[in-house]
């Protein structure tokens, strides 16, 4: 068995690999960039080596630095995780040339399947059906519309664009090539005919060094937005035993065609008429591998390490048991078209539920930067049936507290509760087609959050400059002359309260949002947790304050409330036609110059945040003025980059 393992990755996957390695008695070494110095994966490993730098190119994509870290720590093996360099044959070859064990497929297998163009050609030769398309990006008219432009070396939805007409091709092609080059180091793209209402099915495979390949059933990854998976499950509710057998046979043929060793995934597209097509093969472990682990009982990372150490696969594969569903929690705002969010997690609290596993790359105090992917954690549940798993995952998401930045939790809940998902009628374009965003709180959620903020304010002990309690047994707002009315302004609306004479801790409240009145009794807060009773109805919440914002987690929803400042806001309002950065990021391209005439909808500035491009377009016809965007510059959310007047 491997003795000491360098984990050439970050976040939840690095921590997850370390967990299995520790169980097997393998020492682990993390690597980290400057922004990740205090990250969860650093503390999860036995040792950690600084790579020095902020960007992925300076750190996690730097092969010489990774090999130097392995040498300094005395490692005998390297595990690449997923993303970054996990599918780069250059790293695999460099590790082997350094005399180390590479936990992954042979470099030649990565080369054969890492490029989708070459992979398609090999699959055709192996008798595996592929989606009709072309390897020539200028062949769009022959392929037909709608079509997909895809990055040859891509994954995770990056370098991918859906095109409906010839007029859209030039901009979509250029954008896909730029994004592919930035994410994967190659701007090569190809075209595939778009299959509407298709389901994304993938087969997990394992191959050992003795030439044996087995399939470990399938996963359904059809719940996607912007071509990126958000909810995955195993087995697929849309795959019959007979179809499963056909898909597994095709996946095994695909792996055998490139003499595959280690864990990999063959991704397929299932059309409405029951036909399936090869999409790509991921020559690494997948983000969604835990659902396969849940239904098989096998630890896939353990088998990666055992295979890399020269062990054969067992004679029999495990039986399929129950159902598992995984939800990816992202730092992004569904109300703003899923724009990535950056900031500090002020409160991270996870529930304990039977069958629940959480793979997280964050905790309270973690800083989510603009440099890396915005995924925070994965919630995986197992249950005897799909419906039980779905219900457990809903409960887990409702109880999870992640405060300090906006997440897609409400969208995940909306997906899981939607009748189409319940009946497995969803497809890869379903989220956008149905507009399933989760935007808009559940009934009563806003009021519960406001009351929680009020309860926290009323229950927080008053202290002097030395931290000593001031009149701890006297109700807040109490005066010996008369009961004083007071209010808390939240989003410009007041919650008024008045202490009740003779009832310490009791308050008469009037909610300006709903006009409802009631008697509020506050219990002493315990850290971020606060409990209160409204007319005898006891509720709990988690609450943290960040300057003028109050972040509240309740069972109904997570809400960010803005307290009105004590003094008027004297900041100058932005002029009409302003181009404002929607999130922190880096200016990738500036398509215009000051003084240029533009038309509404024209692409003006391209930002890159968390490995994804975001285009600022002209809000109206006019002339570009006050252009402040500079290529390569880092910008903050809300920063004025230009004006179209």
Number of C-alpha atoms within 13 angstroms, CB side, residue 155? 26
pLDDT of residue 575: 83
pLDDT of residue 51: 97
| E-only strand ranges, 298-418 | 323-330, 332-333, 339-340, 343-344, 347-349, 356-360, 367-368, 375-383, 401-403
Domains of the chain: 4-103 (3.40.50.20), 132-193 (3.30.1490.20), 199-434 (3.30.470.20), 448-463+474-562 (3.30.700.30), 578-644 (2.40.50.100)
Q: Could you identify the residue written with the tokens 């310490």?
A: 504
pLDDT of residue 441: 62
Residues in the chain: 645
Q: Could you identify the residue written with the tokens 């100058």?
A: 572
Q: Give the DSSP letter of residue 28.
A: E
CB 626, CB 642: distance < 8 Å: yes
CB 455, CB 532: distance < 8 Å: yes
Q: What angle do CA 65, 69, 71 make, to 5 degrees?
A: 115
The catalytic position among 284, 386, 392, 545 is: 284
Question: Which helix (H) or strand (E) segment is 506 a member of?
Answer: strand 506-511
Q: Which of helix, strand or coil describes residue 308?
A: helix
Helices (H), 365-417: 386-399, 409-417
Write down the pTM of the prediction.
0.85
Mean pLDDT by 10 residues, the chain (645 residues): 96 97 98 96 98 93 97 98 93 98 96 84 89 91 94 82 94 92 87 92 97 98 92 98 97 95 96 93 95 98 98 96 98 85 94 97 93 94 98 97 95 96 96 90 74 79 63 56 64 77 69 82 83 89 88 89 62 77 86 93 87 85 92 86 92
pLDDT of residue 503: 53
The C-alpha R_g of the chain, in whole angstroms, comes to 27
Q: CB-based contacts of 536: which residues, under 8 Å, 6+ apart? A: none
pLDDT of residue 563: 77
Q: If we measure between CA atoms, which residue out of 275, 153, 267, 282 comes closest to residue 221?
A: 267
Known active-site residue 284: yes
| E-only strand ranges, 80-172 | 101-102, 133-134, 147-151, 161-163
Instruction: Work out the burial of residue 639: count CB atoms within 10 Å of its CB; fewer than 13 is exposed, 13-18 middle, 19 or more buried.
Output: middle
303 to 17, 91, 476: CA distances (angstroms): 11, 21, 60
Write b or e for each residue in 443-479: b if 16 or more Cβ atoms lie within 10 A of its Cβ, otherwise e. Answer: eebbbbbbbbbbbbbbbeeeeeeeeeeeeeeebbeee
Q: Could you identify the residue written with the tokens 């309860």?
A: 455
pLDDT of residue 97: 98
Write b or e for each residue in 350-368: b if 16 or more Cβ atoms lie within 10 A of its Cβ, otherwise e. Answer: beeeebbbbbbbbbbebeb
- Name the token pair of 582: 């929607």
Dihedral over Cα of 536, 542, 545, 548: its sign: negative
**Residues 57-61: contacts with CB under 8 Å, at least 24 apart:** 58/33, 59/31, 59/32, 59/33, 59/34, 60/8, 60/9, 60/10, 60/31, 60/33, 60/84, 60/85, 61/85
| E-only strand ranges, 564-611 | 578-580, 585-590, 597-598, 603-609
Write b or e for each residue in 388-419: b if 16 or more Cβ atoms lie within 10 A of its Cβ, otherwise e. Answer: ebbebbbebbbebbbbbbbbbbbbbbbbbebe
pLDDT of residue 464: 60
pLDDT of residue 614: 83
Q: Phi and psi at residue 307, in whole multiples of 5°?
A: -65, -45
pLDDT of residue 481: 46
CB 394, CB 60: distance < 8 Å: no
Q: If we measure between CA atoms, which residue out of 554, 533, 532 comes closest to residue 542?
A: 554
Cα gap 409→197, rounded to integer Å: 25
Q: If we measure between CA atoms, which residue out of 126, 125, 93, 133 comes closest to residue 109?
A: 93
Cα gap 355→91, rounded to integer Å: 37
């Amino acid at each position: 068995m491997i003795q000491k393992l360098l984990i050439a990755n970050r976040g939840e996957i690095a921590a997850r690999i370390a967990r299995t390695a520790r169980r097997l008695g393998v020492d682990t070494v993390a690597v980290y960039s400057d922004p990740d110095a205090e990250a969860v994966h650093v503390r999860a490993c036995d040792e950690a080596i600084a790579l020095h730098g902020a960007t992925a190119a300076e750190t996690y994509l730097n092969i010489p630095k990774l090999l130097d870290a392995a040498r300094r720590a005395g490692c005998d093996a390297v595990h690449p995780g997923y993303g970054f360099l996990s599918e780069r044959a250059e790293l695999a070859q460099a590790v082997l040339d350094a005399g180390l064990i590479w936990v992954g497929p042979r470099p030649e297998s990565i080369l054969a399947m890492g490029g989708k163009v070459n992979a398609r050609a090999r699959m055709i030769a192996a008798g595996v059906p592929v989606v009709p398309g072309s390897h020539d990006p200028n062949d769009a008219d022959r392929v037909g519309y709608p079509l997909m432009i895809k990055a040859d070396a891509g994954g995770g939805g990056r370098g991918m664009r859906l095109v409906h007409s010839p007029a859209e091709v030039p901009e979509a092609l250029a954008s896909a090539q730029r994004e592919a080059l930035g994410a994967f180091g190659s701007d090569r793209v190809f075209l595939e005919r778009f299959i509407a209402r298709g389901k994304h099915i993938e087969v997990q495979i394992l191959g050992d060094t003795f030439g044996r390949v087995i399939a470990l059933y399938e996963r359904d990854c059809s719940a996607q937005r912007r071509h990126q998976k958000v909810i995955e499950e195993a087995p697929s509710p849309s795959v019959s035993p007979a179809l499963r057998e056909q898909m597994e046979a095709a996946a095994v043929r695909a792996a055998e065609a490139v003499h595959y060793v280690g864990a990999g995934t063959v991704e397929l597209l299932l059309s409405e008429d029951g036909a399936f097509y090869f999409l790509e093969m991921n020559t690494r472990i997948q983000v969604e591998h835990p659902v396969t682990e849940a239904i098989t009982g096998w630890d896939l990372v353990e088998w990666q390490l055992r295979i890399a150490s020269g062990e054969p696969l067992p004679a029999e594969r495990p039986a399929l048991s129950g159902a598992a569903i995984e939800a990816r929690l992202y730092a992004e705002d569904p109300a703003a078209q899923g724009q990535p969010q950056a900031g500090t997690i002020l409160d991270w609290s996870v529930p304990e539920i039977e069958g629940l596993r959480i793979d997280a790359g964050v905790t309270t105090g973690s800083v989510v930067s603009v440099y890396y992917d915005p995924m925070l954690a994965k919630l995986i549940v197992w249950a005897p049936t799909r419906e039980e798993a779905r219900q457990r995952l809903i409960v887990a998401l409702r109880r999870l507290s992640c405060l300090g930045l906006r997440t897609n939790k409400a969208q995940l809940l909306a997906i899981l509760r939607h009748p189409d998902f319940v009946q497995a009628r969803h497809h890869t374009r379903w989220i956008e087609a149905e507009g399933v965003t989760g935007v808009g709180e559940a009934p009563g959620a806003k009021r519960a959050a406001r009351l929680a903020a009020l309860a926290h304010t009323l229950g927080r002990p008053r202290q002097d400059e030395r931290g000593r309690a001031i009149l701890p047994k006297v109700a807040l707002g109490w005066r010996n002359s008369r009961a004083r009315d007071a209010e808390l302004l939240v989003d410009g609306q007041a919650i008024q309260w008045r202490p009740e004479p003779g009832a310490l801790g009791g308050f008469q409240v009037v909610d300006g949002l709903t006009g409802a009145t009631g008697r509020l009794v506050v219990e002493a807060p315990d850290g971020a947790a606060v409990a209160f009773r409204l007319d005898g109805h006891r509720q709990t919440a988690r609450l943290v304050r960040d300057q003028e914002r109050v972040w509240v987690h309740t069972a109904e929803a997570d809400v960010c409330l803005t307290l009105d400042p004590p003094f008027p806001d004297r900041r100058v309002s932005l002029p009409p036609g302003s181009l404002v950065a929607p999130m922190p990021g880096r200016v990738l391209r500036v398509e215009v110059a000051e003084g240029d005439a533009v038309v509404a909808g024209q692409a003006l500035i391209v930002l890159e945040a968390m490995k994804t491009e975001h285009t600022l377009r002209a809000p109206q016809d006019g002339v570009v003025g006050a252009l402040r965007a500079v290529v390569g510059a880092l910008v903050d959310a809300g920063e004025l980059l230009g004006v179209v007047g």
